[in-house]
Amino acid sequence: MKTDKENYFDLVYQVVRLIPKGKVTSYGTIANYLGLKSGARMVGYAMNACHSQPDVPAHRVVNRAGLLTGKHHFSSPERMQQLLESEGITVVNDKIQDFELHFWNPSEIKLDE
């Protein structure tokens, strides 16, 4: 039986899998989307635990200012930046440039009718 934490992590991973290539979102935005206004830290915990699930693009989740705060949880501290740059995102001093242009909000998903 899954614990509440495992269920929450699964929900986070479902949202992260929806982030399009070349886009990023924040821990807090995911938490808000899932209905936990102060759950950004829990989203961070989920992202730190997702490395056993290769289909979760964890590199696309950053802090609210566009900083690569999770970079130390990758195979090397440079890996997160490399993955973002391979998707056309420019990173300088661990910060995404033109963050607003690359930001993706799951609340704005338009489902086909």
Residue 82 domain-assigned (yes or no): yes
| φ and ψ at residue 13, rounded to 5 degrees | -65, -35
Q: What would the two tokens of residue 77 be?
A: 């501290």
Number of domains in the chain: 1
Model-wide pTM > 0.85: yes
Residue 56 domain-assigned (yes or no): yes
Q: What's the CATH number where 51 sits?
A: 1.10.10.10
- Count of CB atoms within 10 A of residue 82's CB? 12
- Note whether 47 and 80 are within 8 A (CB): no
Domain residue limits at 30: 4-103
Residue 112 domain-assigned (yes or no): no
Residue 113 — pLDDT band, cuts 50, 70, 90?
very low
Residue 111 domain-assigned (yes or no): no
Give the pLDDT of residue 17: 95
DSSP E strands in the chain: the ranges are 25-26, 61-62, 91-92, 95-96
Residue 92 domain-assigned (yes or no): yes
DSSP 74: S
Residue 113 domain-assigned (yes or no): no
- pLDDT greater at residue 54 or residue 10: 10
Residue 57 domain-assigned (yes or no): yes
Rg (CA), the chain: 13
Answer yes or no: is pLDDT of 74 > 70.
Answer: yes
Residue 17 domain-assigned (yes or no): yes
